[in-house]
Amino acid sequence: MQSPTAHPQLPDPHDPPISAASSESGIATPSSIPTHPYLLPDGKYECPLCPMGTRKRFRSLATLQKHMLSPIAHMPKIYQCPDPEVFGIILQPGMKRKPQKHFTTFSGLLQHVEYGACTGGKSMFKSMVEFINERLGGLGLGEMRIPAAEQ
């Protein structure tokens, strides 16, 4: 019987280990210690669904299972932090350009920009809100302005 937390396409973590042989001496041997296919020597669990080289590690089997069953954990990162030059933001001398960040969800991108974490900081947020307000006006929805641009 499959456990309710098991992934339908992956081995059930509650199944007995492949080799359940025990040592006749009563001393635990590698073949008698229950193992899990995703358990690493350091005691952490590695996600087999994440790309090689970037596989996420988890302290417990339960958190690995939650990650594996998440609808967005393995989705492509299609949203990216905008380039400040697109919005006419000129960086101050000595200000470093941050590496462009990518996101799985649109809400993740919005939180990143709203927080001011991207290159351009809060001016990037203000520029993006102004951009959206201009587009709303172009669609005849000028009365639906986003007020954050006036801050």
What digits encode the pLDDT tens for the residues 57-103? Answer: 999 999 999 999 998 889 998 998 888 887 777 777 877 778 888 99
Distance, C-alpha 60 to centroid of its chain: 18
Instruction: Output the pLDDT for position 18.
Output: 43
CA distance 104 to 119: 19
pLDDT of residue 58: 94
Q: In the chain, pLDDT over 90 holds for what percent of residues?
A: 19
CA distance 100 to 105: 15
pTM: 0.56
pLDDT at 139 over 60: yes
Residue 69 tokens, joined = 């069953």
3-state secondary structure of 136: helix
